[in-house]
Structure 1
């Protein structure tokens, strides 16, 4: 699956250069490209995770297979719709291809969610690596499952009518963005590459952050492991695990704040005073907790060194 997604990313990148068709203000091939990159990263993480020795490996292997096959089919439909110059999500048009595709999504998206949920539940009851990595895996999988679930909220942002790349008007059952006064056709102001809205609340932000929390936490655990050789008080696994736990809570808080922001029809880059206050409070809490862990670990290290003399 990962190999297919890498090939698709290259294909879609070429498509963005040679195909000038536009859908919702962006190249018709940008969406397949973003999905290909996202599934490449997540698929590699999941493949590595399932290769670790753990109880219930036969069950997780089968659900890993469900995830891979379902992802390939779902993204395949996204590619097909991009080639046709029309929408893959929320499109209620009655043509045969779209009707079959929406049925594929109706079955495939829950399949991805359930596969991840089962794997997360099985892995969360055991330690598959050292304490910091295990905590990063468990917390990251939990955040990823939550992030995947947040994708369902996009179907409740309100019906809208948009033009596809062929100029045809299409009625959509939902969308990525939430406007304060209802959907605004033709408002495609977005950030570079991600195209997250700069004029409305965009539910893709918490969805994306949730899905890739596991990679962020694993990276943090690996960085702490490297630092442990230079920073004596980080050598205890328990200390690094506590830090990862605090970072996981902070990351989950960021996902929650961006979700809250999007549901209030507020752009990611235009936070109001309430959002800034929430971010400040979260940052302060995380900093206090990390400082407390550092002070405690440093004091313990000092006492151990004193005891040697």
Structure 2
């Protein structure tokens, strides 16, 4: 078989595999057809081709499987390289067929399975892991799964009501931190002097905390509120943009490219604009939740605690949007001022210790929904006095807002952290 014949066989194998993938993606309801094509007929044909290639050309090959160099030498043979490619096509197709069958048995929406199938087609094991992650997330979103998890927790946690979809999303986001951490440990590359995986890792942890907080607070609103448009806004319109943003940041990190302030081409500018719109969508959610908690039909809560929840959620939206617009509109990025050659930053967070950094007030603003309610809970636990508790919460929330705005003003003037030098 000549070189041209190998090229033709390569093209034919690829076209055959594409037919199998197309049947799974485009014809999911024709289960018998897609299963037979992608799960039996096409892998069988590809496997037969693989057997013939190995049987005819294995005897003349150098190399082996004992080391990476031996494998590289083995695939230096064009016939065996083709055999390896056919092996890849056949087995990835089988994995894709398994994913489709499994997703249909578990009633996973096909719209969510299509990106997983595309990942399996392109990157094999990545698609498999993506499906395992997706199915586990959907299972966790079912109320019985969350209830089973709660049953194993301490008594005070078992008493809490948890919104299952938001909590499942929080756990799924936290799971993404595992491969991100591994990538940070093994990737020797740097982007602008920093490990490129630190940024997606920080976002994953922060967003997981944000979603878990909403999951705990949404059930405190009334059933009527949760069933309405405002209550529904707190679920998928929040979850979807957050995951898309994290996926985008991770994709840019893998390419050693900036995810924010990246307008070098039309695609980058469009995606950066889309990120800004998504940020506004999920930053408005705490204000919507604050309204739900302020309604008369919300769960009965001690006045100081209710005030801390409403105040913290409201401040998150207000301060988050103000600092976010300042951050997004900055022509020089999140730093304000000339970055020194030996730039001192805060460990892990990366905040500048020498010039203005708009990420500081943005962080404070977005985490008001955890910090202010936590203070309110501590005050109520310590005093059990409504009047003093309300006064303490109001004073703390005012001071918190003032500190955040001071940090924003300091950053805009090019001064570090809260203006200290």
What is the count of residue pairs matched by the alignment? Answer: 247
User: Compared with structure 1, are the counterparts of its residues 222 and 143 closer, same or farther at alpha carbon in structure 2 (3 Å cutoff)?
Assistant: same
Q: How far, CA to CA, are the matches of 1:224 and 1:190 in structure 2?
A: 34
- The C-alpha deviation readout for 1:58-116, integer Å capped at 9, x for no partner, is 234311121111111111111111111111011012275x3553353143122223333
Contact preservation (8 Å) 2:308, 2:376:
yes
Name the counterpart of 2:330: 157
1:14-34 CA deviation, whole Å, 9 max, x = no partner? Answer: 222111221232110000111
CA offsets, 1:252-280, max 9 Å, x none? 111111111111110117616xxxxxxxx
Aligned ranges 1:113-132 → 2 under 5 Å: 113-126=283-296, 128=299, 129-132=301-304
CA distance in 2 between partners of 1:188 and 1:140 (Å): 33
Alignment RMSD: 2.2
Which runs of 5 or more structure 1 residues have no equivalent in the other structure? 159-173, 228-233, 273-309
Structure 2 counterpart of 1:23: 191
TM-score, structure 2 normalization: 0.55
1:200-253 deviation per Cα after TM superposition (whole angstroms, max 9, x unaligned):
1111111101111121122222222332xxxxxx23223212211111111111
For structure 1, which segment, 215-224 or 70-79, has the greater mean C-alpha deviation from structure 2 after superposition? Answer: 215-224
Which SS does the other structure have where 1:243 is aligned? helix
User: Is 1:209 aligned with 2:377?
Assistant: no
Match of 2:376 among 209, 221, 227: 221
Say if 2:262 is the partner of 1:104: no
Please state whether the residue corresponding to 2:265 is helix, strand or coil.
Answer: coil
Aligned to 1:271: 420
Out of 56, 64, 73, the position equivalent to 2:244 is 73
Equivalent-residue separation in structure 2 for 1:251 and 1:106 (angstroms): 25
Question: Which structure: larger Rg?
Answer: 2
Answer yes or no: is the 8 Å Cα contact 2:351–2:360 preserved in 1: yes
Flag the 1:237–1:78 CA change in 2: closer, same or farther, 3 A.
Answer: same
Match 2:255 to one of 84, 98, 113: 84
Question: TM-score scaled by structure 1?
Answer: 0.73
**Mapped contact 1:8–1:32 kept (Cα < 8 A):** no
1:144 aligns with 2:313: no
**Structure 1 range deviating more: 79-88 or 100-109:** 100-109
SS at match of 1:175: coil
Name the counterpart of 1:57: 226
Partners of 1:142 and 1:269 in 2: CA distance: 22
Tell me the secondary structure at the aligned position of residue 420 of structure 2: coil
Equivalent position of 1:133 in the other structure: 305
Q: Distance in 1 between matches of 2:407 and 2:216?
A: 29
**Runs of 5+ in structure 2 lacking a partner?**
1-168
After TM superposition, the structure 1 stretch with the greater mean CA deviation from structure 2, 111-120 or 134-143, is 111-120
**Whole-angstrom distance in 1 between the partners of 2:408 and 2:311:** 18
Aligned to 2:103: none
> 2-side partners of 1:255 and 1:202: how far apart?
13
Check 1:251–1:124 CA distance in 2 against 1; reply closer, same or farther (3 A cut).
same
1:126-145 deviations in Å (ceiling 9; x for gaps): 56422121111111011111
